[in-house]
Amino acid sequence: MTLCAPAPAAAATGVLLAGGRSSRLGQPKALLPFAGRPLGLHLLDRLAGVTDQLLVVTNDPATYAPWGVPMTTDPAEFVGMGPLAGLLAAIEAAPTGAVLAVACDLPFFSPALGALMLALQTETGADVVIPTHDGLLEPLCAVYTAACQGVIRQRLVAGTRKVASILPDLRVRYVSEEEYCRFGPTEQLFFNINTAEDLALAQSHWSLAVDAGARPKQHQ
């Protein structure tokens, strides 16, 4: 039986951080063929199941235009400054105050984990809700609110690109492994694709990856 977290009470935007072109893989990670479709579309399907609207952050909008999903790009002054600039773009463009941001290279992202984080944000009023395990953080599978905007801008102006650098100045709700382990093994939930070997491994485990959360209708 599938275990699902309660749906969040407040409206939220599901954000796919489409990233760069990935020189090691030869094409953008969001376009990698995965179970017969681009990986990014799989992730948008999962985000659609637990958020009210979708947004793709990319500095190459023409590539993703056929997907028919709203898009935004890094603020002009911060282009090329990585995921932190992408988060700022998402927060500024999102029609709601909370965004569930997911990197495009997380093939086993669990929508139930996303729903749990959104529900925790609604419950606690935290600025950031972020999973943690083994002393590590997962900042590219987390919830951010509009309250983060000023701090992110400060860090980017200072030349800081590390997403975790914003946390000391914000109200953060850390989500422990014990709270989300029912949605799947940690090493699977946050498995990310960086190489062709990673992609092959993810493909081989796909049959085991129909984990927490419903499978919403597919984007064409």
**pLDDT (tens digit per residue) in 74-103:** 999 999 899 999 999 999 999 877 999 999
Q: Give percent of the chain above pLDDT 90.
A: 71
**Residue 220 to residue 130: CA distance in whole angstroms:** 30
Q: pLDDT value at position 161?
A: 94
Query: Which residue from 213, 210, 191 is spatially nearest to 140, judged by alpha carbons?
Result: 191
CA pseudo-torsion sign 140, 146, 149, 150: negative
Query: Which residue from 33, 88, 93, 92 is spatially nearest to 69, judged by alpha carbons?
Result: 93
**pLDDT (tens digit per residue) in 112-134:** 999 999 999 999 999 999 999 99
Tokens of 2: 């599938």
Higher pLDDT, 33 or 8: 33
Q: pLDDT value at position 199?
A: 87
Residues ≥6 apart with Cβ < 8 Å to 145: 91, 97, 98, 99, 121, 126, 127, 128
Higher pLDDT, 157 or 11: 157
pLDDT averaged over every residue in the chain: 87
Name the 3-class secondary structure at 54: strand
Q: Would the pTM count as exceeding 0.85?
A: yes
